[in-house]
Copies of this chain bind each other. A is one copy, B any other.
Amino acid sequence: MANPMYRQIAEDLREQIESGQLQPGQQLSTELELRERYRASRNTVRDAIKWLMNLDLVETRPGQGIFVVKKIAPHVTPLSGDPGTGEGAIYRWQVSKNGRKPDSTVPQVEIQRADKGIAAELQLPEGTQVISRHEKRYIDETPWSLMTSFYPRGFVVQGAGKLLLADNIAEGAVQYLNATLGLRQAGYRDWITVRAPNAVEAEFFSLPQDGRVAVFENFRTAFDQTGTPMRVTVTVFPTDRNQFVVEIGDVPEPQVRAAADDHKS
C-alpha cells in the first residue's frame, strides 16, 4: 500500500520482463486488457507504462501496441591504443574484427569559426577559422556515432590541401599530416561526458524525443611531437549501444565477457 497503484502495476510488469516471462520484442497486453487485469483506469495503466518507458524497458508504437524493448548488441570502442594511429581506418578494423559491418558517410567538410570550446582545445583565439570534417557512422546498417574533427585552417596553406576535400583520406589523416607537414601525433586526451541528445542526434539515432536515452560525448584532443594540439575530434555515441574500454600498462589479451549487475547493495 505504500506505493501508488501505477508503480505497483509497473513493478509487476517489470518483474515479468526481467524474469524473461516477457521476451524482448514481444508485445504485451493492450491498455484495455491491462486495465481489466489490474482493475485500474486507463490513465493509471498508462502511467505505469510511462514509468517503464522511462526505465527503457518497454516502448509503445501508436496503432500497434506496447512492446518489450530489444536491447541492441553494444559495440565496445577502445580508447587506448597506439597514440600515433588515426581514426577512420582503425574504426573499420575494430568493428569488422567483431564480425560486424562498419559503414560511414563521405566526410562533410566545412570551414567554420571555432566556438569557445574548440578554440580553447586547439589553443586558438575564439572565432578563428577551422576545418570541420563530419562523418556519420553505422554498424550493420544501424546509426552508431557522429564524428566531427576540427583542424586549424592553417594546415591547408601549409600544404595539407586534402583536408578540404570531401573525401576519405585513404592513408588516414594522421599519416597524411605526418607526410605533408611533418606532424607526428604523439598522444591524445579523451574527455568523456554524458548528456541528453539534441533534436538532430535523437532523429539520426532514432532515440525517443525526450531525454530518456542519453549519449556519450567524447572530446579527443590530439597533440603533435611539440605538445601542440593538432586536432579536436568530437564524437557522439548513444549510450544504449556503445561502451568503452581503456587499457593501461600491461594487460593480457581480452576475454569475451558477459554483462553483470547488482554486485553490492
Contacts and interface: CB of A to CB of B under 8 A. Distances in A.
Interface stretch (A19-27, A60-68, A254-262): A254-262
Given A148-B263, A188-B249, A227-B250, A239 B255 contact: no
Contacts of A214: 194, 214, 239
Contacts of A186: 249-250
A246 B212 contact: no
A80 B248 contact: yes
A257 B192 contact: no
15 contacts: A51-B210, A56-B196, A76-B191, A79-B246, A80-B80, A115-B263, A120-B255, A188-B248, A190-B246, A192-B192, A194-B214, A195-B261, A214-B239, A234-B263, A234-B264
Interface of A: 51, 54-56, 74, 76, 79-81, 83-84, 115-118, 120-121, 123, 132, 134, 146, 148, 150, 185-196, 198, 200, 210-212, 214, 216, 219, 223, 225, 227, 234, 239, 243-252, 254-255, 257-265
